[in-house]
């Protein structure tokens, strides 16, 4: 087999493949023998037909079959021997059903196709990223605990005889009526409210200040036309508010008791757990940023011409995914605020980025011998299944059915590559702000 | 009977005749009324066999009876005549090969 390759641009090639005459003859012969046992020709017992008669009677069939058998493997072999990775857009000339084949003559065909372009992988050892360790100051933990305190605050009615003042806490019943009918979730009994914390609508709050215990008021207001709740937007609403009590907000004291309510042994442990959580959170964000940094630097350093066909394909795929997700959620693109006209253009850049990443990571993984074994895949799937409260076995078969197992494996592999890159990257002097 | 195509109807290609070809013998289905002289003439004309025919053997083949259960409905395939023409060493009948 002879192959001649001609590059058309960076990601398209033209190949001329010649299959040797002997191969053609051999293939014909082989097919003839296979055919002999299958056909019955009048005048001959099955399997006893002379080859010469078969050849002349079934010439067309034999040739077509030989082409079917010869061309695809030759094409694949040509790709392998020329180290080309096909990306599609294949055009054979002449097309397979029009190819001519003559016994004793080589079979020649030409193919034009998109291939993965060559690119030089940049040095990925000298990337710089922010490697500063996570830093959670005391104050952040304090703030977190304060929020917890607020959440677990109790309100005790005060025996006072005065009207509501700013910075009081109150217990009220309220309901909201639009056109005389209550709206969804539009009423509450014994609601504990801190005045001045934005827990009530400003117009309502203004009226509540100055009310005295057991007083009821009716407050009317108009909602803006662009209010986020369509039930209320542009509507005239009536609030009925009754003040039950002026209360005192009591924050739980920060002691072991408080910790025990939250199912920790003691206060110190609670703080420790919060600190741990915050650190983990920061680590995750940090890790994400490191990955983005690395990817950006790699992409910047690498010039790859990605064939249009691949970008288009990728964009189409993403659009399909989005549409499918919307359908599952029962939304139309308009409802979700997606402009179907503009979407492909918006996705283009991402598509290019993702393709670049995938290709670069392929090369890095190969060079660094990074692989994800079946065991690792299994463990990871088990973990995922546990997180989502699903049966691991069912989850695996679900992934396999939807052809996402390999996708998942790729994700894991990319994780490994990232880990390696992060490990190899040098620390950037982080700017002190 | 003039038209040679009406005398020699078609080549007879079977396992047996394929073997016979090694002995320079070619078999044909011919008109049942044709005699050896007719066949010789027709073969010479059709296949350009002047002075190349060694021997002509004819035989009548009885048509098979077909249909099984009802005697009165039983039919026959027509009888037909087979001829085996022996040609001189090295002579090839092109028409026979092309099938």
- Cross-strand partners of B61: B80
pLDDT confidence of residue A143: 86
A35 contacts A55 by C-beta, under 8 angstroms: no
pLDDT confidence of residue B71: 63
Q: Give per-residue pLDDT as tens, A37-47.
A: 888 888 888 88
Determine contact: B12 vs chain A, CB below 8 A.
yes
Residues of B in contact with A48 (CB under 8 A): 15
Cβ separation of B99 and A53 shorter than 8 Å? yes
Residues 52-81 of chain A whose Cβ lies under 8 A from any Cβ of chain B? 53, 56-57
Cβ separation of A43 and B99 shorter than 8 Å? no
Query: Tokens at residue B37, please?
Result: 């002289």
Q: Give per-residue pLDDT as tens, A368-380.
A: 888 888 888 888 8
Task: Return the H-helix or E-strand segment holding A382.
Answer: helix A374-387
Rounded mean pLDDT, B72-78 = 77
Q: Would you put residue A282 in left (φ > 0), alpha (ψ -120 to 50) or beta?
A: alpha
Query: Tokens at residue A63, please?
Result: 């040739």
Beta strand spans in A179-327 (E): 181-194, 216-222, 236-250
Taking Cα atoms as reference points, which of A72, A73, A70, A121 lies closest to residue A92? A72
Determine contact: B99 vs chain A, CB below 8 A.
yes
Higher-pLDDT residue of A10, A132: A132
Q: Give per-residue pLDDT as tens, A58-85.
A: 888 888 888 888 888 888 888 888 888 8
Res B49 pLDDT > 90: no
Q: How many beta carbons lie within 10 A of that of residue B27, not counting itself?
A: 20
In angstroms, rounded to a whole number, what is the distance separating the alpha carbons of residues A424 and A145?
38
C-alpha B99 chain-centroid distance: 15
In angstroms, rounded to a whole number, what is the distance separating the alpha carbons of residues B3 and B5?
5
Among the partner residues A44, A45, A56, nearest to B99 by beta-carbon distance: A56
Measure A103 CA to nearest chain B CA, in Å.
Answer: 16
Query: Tokens at residue B55, please?
Result: 């021997």
Q: Give per-residue pLDDT as tens, A240-259.
A: 888 888 888 888 777 777 77
Q: Is the ipTM of this complex over 0.85?
A: no
Higher-pLDDT residue of B40, A138: B40
The radius of gyration of chain A from alpha carbons, rounded to an integer in Å, stands at: 36
Residue A433 confidence class, pLDDT cut points 50, 70, 90:
very low
Cβ separation of B18 and A50 shorter than 8 Å? yes
Rounded mean pLDDT, A300-321 = 80
pTM: 0.56
The radius of gyration of chain B from alpha carbons, rounded to an integer in Å, stands at: 15
Task: Return the H-helix or E-strand segment holding B57.
Answer: strand B53-61
Q: Give per-residue pLDDT as tens, A206-231.
A: 778 878 788 888 888 887 777 777 77
* A-B contacts (CB, under 8 Å): 16
Rounded mean pLDDT, A325-345 = 77
Q: Where are the alpha helices (DSSP H) in A107-209?
A: 138-151, 202-208
Q: Give per-residue pLDDT as tens, A137-194.
A: 888 888 888 888 888 888 888 777 777 777 778 888 888 888 777 777 777 888 888 8
Measure A54 CA to nearest chain B CA, in Å.
Answer: 10
Rounded mean pLDDT, B30-37 = 92
Pairing of strands A426-427, A128-129: parallel
Cβ separation of A53 and B14 shorter than 8 Å? no
Res B68 pLDDT > 70: no
Res B99 pLDDT > 60: no
């Amino acid at each position: 087999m002879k192959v001649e390759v001609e590059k058309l641009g960076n990601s398209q090639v033209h190949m001329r493949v010649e299959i040797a005459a002997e191969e053609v003859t051999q293939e014909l012969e082989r097919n003839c023998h296979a055919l002999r046992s299958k056909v019955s020709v009048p005048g001959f017992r099955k399997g006893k037909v002379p080859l010469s008669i078969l050849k002349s009677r079934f010439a067309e069939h034999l040739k077509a079959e030989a082409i079917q058998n010869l061309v695809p493997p030759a094409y694949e072999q040509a790709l392998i021997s020329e180290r080309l990775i096909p990306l599609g857009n294949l055009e054979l000339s002449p097309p397979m059903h029009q190819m001519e084949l003559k016994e004793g003559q080589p079979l020649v065909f030409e193919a034009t196709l998109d291939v993965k372009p060559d690119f030089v992988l940049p040095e990925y050892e000298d990337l710089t990223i922010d490697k500063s360790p996570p830093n959670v100051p005391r104050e952040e933990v304090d703030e977190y605990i304060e929020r917890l305190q607020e959440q677990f605050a109790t309100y005790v009615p005060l025996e006072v005889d005065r009207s509501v003042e700013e910075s009081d806490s109150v217990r009220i019943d309220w309901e909201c009526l639009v056109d005389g009918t209550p709206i969804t979730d539009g009423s509450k009994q014994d609601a504990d409210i801190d005045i001045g914390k934005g827990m009530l609508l400003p117009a309502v709050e203004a009226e509540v200040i100055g009310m005295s215990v057991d007083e009821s008021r009716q407050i009317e207001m108009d909602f803006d036309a662009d209010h986020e709740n369509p039930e209320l937007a542009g509507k005239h609403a009536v609030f009925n508010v009754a003040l039950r009590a002026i209360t005192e907000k009591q924050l739980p004291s920060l002691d072991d008791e408080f910790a025990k309510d939250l199912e920790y042994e003691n206060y110190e442990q609670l703080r420790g757990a919060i600190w741990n959580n915050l650190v983990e959170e920061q680590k995750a964000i940090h890790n994400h940023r490191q990955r983005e940094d690395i990817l950006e630097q790699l992409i910047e350093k690498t010039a790859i011409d990605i064939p249009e066909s691949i970008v288009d394909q990728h964009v189409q795929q993403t659009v399909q995914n989005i549409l499918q997700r919307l359908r599952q959620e029962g939304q139309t693109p308009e409802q979700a605020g997606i402009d179907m006209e503009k979407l492909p253009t918006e996705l283009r850049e991402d598509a290019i980025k993702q393709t670049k990443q995938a290709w670069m990571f392929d090369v890095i993984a190969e060079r660094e011998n990074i692989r994800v074994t079946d065991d690792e895949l299994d463990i990871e799937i088990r973990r995922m299944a546990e997180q989502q409260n699903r049966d691991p076995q069912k989850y695996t078969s679900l992934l396999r059915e939807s052809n996402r197992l390999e996708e998942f494996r790729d994700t894991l592999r990319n994780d490994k590559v990232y880990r390696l890159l992060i490990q190899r990257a040098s620390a950037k002097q982080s700017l002190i702000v | 009977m003039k038209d040679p195509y009406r005398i020699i109807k078609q080549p007879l290609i079977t396992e047996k005749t394929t073997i016979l070809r090694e002995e320079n013998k070619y078999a044909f289905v011919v008109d049942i009324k044709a005699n050896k002289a007719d066949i010789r003439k027709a073969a010479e004309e059709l296949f350009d066999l002047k002075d190349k025919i060694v021997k002509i053997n004819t035989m009548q083949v009885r048509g098979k009876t077909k249909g099984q259960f009802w005697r009165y409905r039983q039919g026959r395939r027509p009888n037909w005549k087979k001829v085996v023409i022996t040609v001189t060493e090295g002579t090839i009948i092109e028409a026979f090969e092309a099938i």
